Structure 1
Amino acid sequence: MAVEFESLQEAAQELGDDISTHDKAGLEALSDAHLREQYDARDELYEFIDGLWDKTKADVPDAGARDEYAGLAGLRDLAAALRNNASDILTEREG
């Protein structure tokens, strides 16, 4: 089934939503130490991409409205979803 998206950012957001159930199941199967490693790695990835996005917005103030930056915005959203999944599982375990 082909799915149409308005932008790469929308596609990345949908991908993040679609994989979250599988991702969380995989994270739940990890030991506490490996789950922490996953969270740390995902956080580092998100922070790197977020830094790229911040620099892009500083250089191109209307980047959020321009199609040529939708891929970076989408990657940031996907990285946030992955980090949030790990955070959710950590919070459940620590709760």
Structure 2
Amino acid sequence: MTALSLTPGWLRSEKMLEGFGVTEANWHDAVERAPDFIHSETPFYIGRAVVALATDPKIMAKSGHALSAGGLAREYNFTDVDGRQPPAY
């Protein structure tokens, strides 16, 4: 059994989009007010991290580690739905 922790970066959830007054279609408009929002990620990004981990036959090597979606994206070469690889936080 593998035990690890997995954390997203700056999650671009529905609540965050609502807070910035934007939608997924125009979320870049929020970057003017919060420049670091350019590094935000959708919930699909961490979901892809879970899939990558679940299909890794060597997952036991990660047991006991704290992992991030951004770090795993680079290791397993996956992207967010918009083709970007937001950085690990």
Q: TM-score interval w.r.t. the shorter chain?
A: 0.3 to 0.5
Higher helix share: 1
The answer to which structure, 1 or 2, has the higher relative contact order (CA under 8 A, 6+ apart) is 1
TM score, norm. by length of structure 2 = 0.34
TM score, norm. by length of structure 1 = 0.33
Flag the structure with larger Rg. Answer: 1
